Amino acid sequence: MIVLWIILGVLVILAAVVLIRTLLTPKKEAAYKAPAADERAEVYAKKLSRMVAFDTVSIPETNQREKFLPFHQLLEELFPLVHARLEKTEIDGNLLFFWKGKHSDRPLVLMSHQDVVPAEGEWLHAPFSGDIADGKVWGRGASDTKCSVMAFFQAVEELLEQGYEPEQDVYLSSSCTEEWAGDGCPKLVDELARRGVHPFLVCDEGGGIITDPVGGIKGNFAMAGVFEKGKADIRLTAASSGGHASTPGKHTPVARLADFVNEFEHHDPFRKKMSPEVQSMFEQLAPYAPFYMKLLFRNIWLFRPLLLKALPMISPAAGAMLKTTIAFTMLKGSDAYNVLPQEAVLGANMRFIPHEGMASSLAKVRKLAEKHDIKLEVFHAVDASRSVDIHGPGFSLVSEVIQETFPGLETCPYVMTGATDARNDERIAEHVVRFAPVIYGPEQMKGMHGLNENIEYNCLPGAVDFYKNLIGSNR
């Protein structure tokens, strides 16, 4: 009986602590919104429009220098001072500009890519029109990521017009192979390494000012990417002697692949863990959340097991920050309805979380494939990137500049489930932050790599100011 009273007392104390911690967390509202578009925004929109109207779709495994050189001529027309006063290096269509500062001990690299993915389907505005309508610039690359290319070129252009001399060296880096993880950025990093440049901070695309970043939490938040999950494409092949569909046997190729997929769907083998970066993100979002979410996010020390189980069911995006994922994307069997295939092929894309990693994650897939007599092949594999220290000077500088540029905008660390060029810079730079200073609402997120890509151009002045402030604050 005494034991029961002790347990009850502990539970009451825990409940009281949880409730008090939650109630003592002030309720906040995400109030930041981009100002209404003005004349300055319209000027930037016209520049971005011309950049979007230039087709820069990149083709994997090809040298595209000749395709991108005319786009470089457009950049020179739009940003003449950058081209006249900065040292330009072009490597196979990839661009590197050097702006000499008063000092060279804390170099800054601003990055974003020139290339875009193909544009298919029926669009409201032609994908390479660069139309300006309804307060938006429309077209492939408007949000991913010619908006940031335009913004940092424009930032330097305006600082040059003012006669500004940066305290620290500044580099503008832009590859033309990012969309297929090509060798463009590695070549630019090789060039920086050859020069002995060790950037203090690299700021690339990846995160951004995200609207409604987690279900139930409303408003704009600066989600600064601190690391990227690894990735691999895998092909799974089940073979047999084939045969006529009128006399099917057991364990045919398609059936074996179906059993394989079913095991992953109902018995996920990948281990869920909340990293310090993800925990920090939820804790910073807690004041903006409804009470029940605030209760959980403010008391992760207690509710961690519940969150690890519930988050993947509530939000695929949140769940992907906790574990390795596998997405089944391609399937091929027989070419006829009445023929058993001699070979059935399943394609999948994997994204590796750091705490499990590429080797361990692939080992789990391989073990299950062997169980079902399936051959596994791995392509384009790369492990998870290193995380930037969210308490370190690089992330702190980005956070401070976000606050300076966008007053009232909360900055949260963010796990990149996609991939960027930024991982290449980690071999020469300690602090690599993935943040594009533009607003990505639900419409922009849906249009990225999809139909009707666009960006609301009232956010472009803020993007230009962010890069100007980042250059000025790096001392």
Confidence check: pLDDT of 177 > 90: yes
What 8-state DSSP symbol labels residue 453? -
Full set of structural domains in the chain with CATH = 39-228+385-473 (3.40.630.10), 249-381 (3.30.70)
Q: From CA 225, how far away is CA 402, in angstroms rounded?
A: 14
How many angstroms separate the CA atoms of 291 and 306, rounded? 16
Buried/exposed code over 14-53 (b: 16+ C-beta within 10 A; e: otherwise): eeeebeebbeebeeeebebebeebeeebeebbebbbbbbb
Q: Which element (helix H / strand E) includes 202? A: strand 201-211
| Amino acid 314: pLDDT | 75
Partner residues linked to 348 by β-bridges = 234, 328
Tell me if 220 sits within 8 A of 33, measured CB to CB. Answer: yes
Query: Maximum CA pair distance of the chain?
Result: 84
Tens-place pLDDT, residues 237-272: 999 887 777 778 888 999 999 999 999 999 999 999
CA–chain centroid gap for 166, Å, is 29
Q: What average pLDDT does the chain have?
A: 93
CA distance 51 to 93: 16
pLDDT at 388 exceeding the cut of 80 = yes
Angle among Cα 225, 45, 60 to the nearest 5 degrees reads 55
Determine the number of helices (DSSP H) and then strands (DSSP E) in the chain. Answer: 15, 17
The per-residue b/e assignment along 68-79, b for 16 or more CB within 10 angstroms, e otherwise, is beebbeebeebb
What's this model's pTM, rounded to 2 decimal places?
0.92
Which pLDDT score is estimated for 112? 97
97 has a pLDDT exceeding 90: yes
Quickly tell me which residue has 């974003």 as its tokens.
112
Beta-carbon count within 10 A of 165 CB: 11
Residue 11's pLDDT is what?
63
Handedness of CA 389, 393, 395, 396 (dihedral sign): positive
